[in-house]
Amino acid sequence: MGRRGPPKKPTELKLVQGNPGKTALPKNEPKPQKLSKPKAAKYLSKPGRKIWREMSAKLAPLGLLTVVDTARLARYCDKLARFNELAGLLNNGTPRYVQAVNKGGFTYRTRSAELVEYLALDIALRADEREFGLTPSARAGLGVVPHRPAGDGEMSALKMKLYGKR
């Protein structure tokens, strides 16, 4: 049985929001190294590598790609490449439903293997997209803090007033 309830909110997000629930924050939470230009896995197909380049270029600047995320992103890229391949097949004449005969001799229609795989990949891709914040609803809960050089902004001015130069 999987975990119950909504997924836990990342500690960094709790800190940005001021820890609204006032719950104890984890002390030893792992903080994997963020990647700026990750290398694609060797086993990726050509279409998978193309998707890798596109996705890593989008995720890395946002700080959403770390050393522990590369295997998951590689799987996502492979799934998306296969999904695109199946979409091409289904849109170019591959039948979506096929005739089948059961033991009693009755003929019935059933989904083709391509359609079944396509639908399963759609579900799996949506789950991966939520994990990486690639859907609008997943991004609604994310707080990406823009990078500001030290000493800039209102917060630095407030700290200077309160604490003076350090």
Q: What is the pLDDT of residue 158?
A: 54
CA 54 to the chain's CA centroid: 13
Flag whether pLDDT at 152 surpasses 60.
no
Per the confidence metrics, is the pTM higher than 0.75? no
Flag whether pLDDT at 114 surpasses 90.
yes
Please, are residues 122 and 153 in contact by the beta-carbon 8 Å criterion? no
Side-chain half-sphere CA neighbours of 83 within 13 A: 16
Which H/E stretch holds residue 111?
strand 107-111
Task: Kindly state the DSSP code that residue 148 receives in the 8-state scheme.
Answer: -
Residues whose CB falls within 8 Å of the CB of residue 29, separated by 6 or more in sequence, listed in order: 11
Q: What is the pLDDT of residue 124?
A: 95
